[in-house]
Amino acid sequence: MPCLVVGIVLVFSGFRMYCAGRKSTALILCSMHIRPYQELAKTMKGQLAGVQTTTLFLDRDSDAPVSIARMNPDMIFTVGQNALETALPLRGRSPLVFTMVLFPRIIGKDIPAGVAGVGMIPSPNRQLLILKSGFHMRRVLLFYNPKVTDFLAERFTAGAPDGLEVEAVPVETDAALIASLGRGLSGADAILLIPDPSILTEQGLRALIRESYADDIPIVAFAPMYLDMGAAVSLSVSPGETARTAVSLALSMADGESRDGGTLHYPPGCDIRISERAAKKLALHVDTTALSKYGDVTWSE
């Protein structure tokens, strides 16, 4: 974390020189006026001290698309899928950093130069290292829709550290997921959830949780809210981590010194939360010393 903060300060210094003689500008474009988007936009704006920052919401500011071209900001941040799709063709030469986008490949096979993204989850490799080191897992199952999240499943299978096997199981619907669960979980140590609403429906989640407790296999989720539904662990990214990563990327690209454009970046930190009740019920092995190396650890009831 200290390295990232220092990096922001150093890059910010260069950006101020780049914009010497005028006040630098930034636009934060949000898809909707909802609490998670508002919180992230506010946090990013706080990271942009000294930058004239405007925040617009597509569902409240009808002239937002016109404003992008009129403002010609030094950098653009988008929050949500619709905001990205709106800003991308209108950004001109302004560097753009997108956040809170479930399926980044929507912008094309490759992210264009001058555009970078911040992942909604901790990096696949980091998550798997946490499962191996902090929970002593050796084999995890991951269900995904090959028409929707194949790119993400590939990152998990390719990022598996030595000693941990990731089996990615393709299922295109929640019905296919339920059928797959009926055939057993093949001795897995955990079920790892990824953001895929095509299979994580109410019915799909119920089936996953039911099978989890029937076979004593914990579910590892990507957001704390799943702990209330029965997941044993959540590995997530805080708004602060997302904001710091996004601002660092944008300032680097605006300063002309960065080669970070054209890629998806994952925040370095990880919020690790463990359900005490589920951990006890499922006899989950927890190495708190190992986990502390990867992020903050919180226990919940």
Q: How many CB atoms lie within 10 A of CB 5?
A: 12
3-class SS at 22?
Answer: coil
pLDDT at residue 13, rounded to an integer? 47
What is the distance between the alpha carbons of residues 166 and 161, in angstroms, rounded to a whole number? 9
By the 8 A CB rule, do 191 and 208 touch? yes
3-class SS at 10?
Answer: helix
Confidence of residue 11 (pLDDT cuts 50, 70, 90): very low
Of 175 and 3, the one with more pLDDT: 175
Q: Would the CATH topology of 2-120+238-265 be identical to that of 124-236+270-300?
A: yes
Using the Cα atoms of residue 27, residue 45, residue 121 and residue 198 in order, give the sign of their dihedral. negative
pLDDT (tens digit, 9 = 90+) per residue, 152-209?
Answer: 899 999 989 999 999 999 999 999 999 999 887 878 999 999 998 888 999 999 999 9
pLDDT at residue 257, rounded to an integer? 55
How many CA atoms, within 13 angstroms, populate the side-chain half-sphere of residue 263?
10
Give the end-to-end CA distance of the chain in Å, rounded to a whole number: 28
Element containing residue 207 per DSSP (H, E): helix 202-214
Torsion angles phi and psi, residue 165, rounded to 5: -100, 135
Q: What is the DSSP letter of 224?
A: G
pTM of the model: 0.84
Q: Tell me the domain boundaries of the chain.
A: 2-120+238-265, 124-236+270-300
Structure tokens that stand for 295 in this block? 């992020």
pLDDT (tens digit, 9 = 90+) per residue, 104-125?
Answer: 665 545 667 789 999 999 999 9
By the 8 A CB rule, do 115 and 107 touch? yes
Confidence of residue 250 (pLDDT cuts 50, 70, 90): very high
Provide the CATH number for the domain formed by 124-236+270-300 in this structure.
3.40.50.2300
The residues, any chain, with a CB within 8 Å of residue 242's CB and separated by 6 or more, are: 40, 43, 99, 100, 118, 120, 267
Does the structural domain 2-120+238-265 have CATH classification 3.40.50.2300? yes
Question: Residues in the chain, how many?
Answer: 301
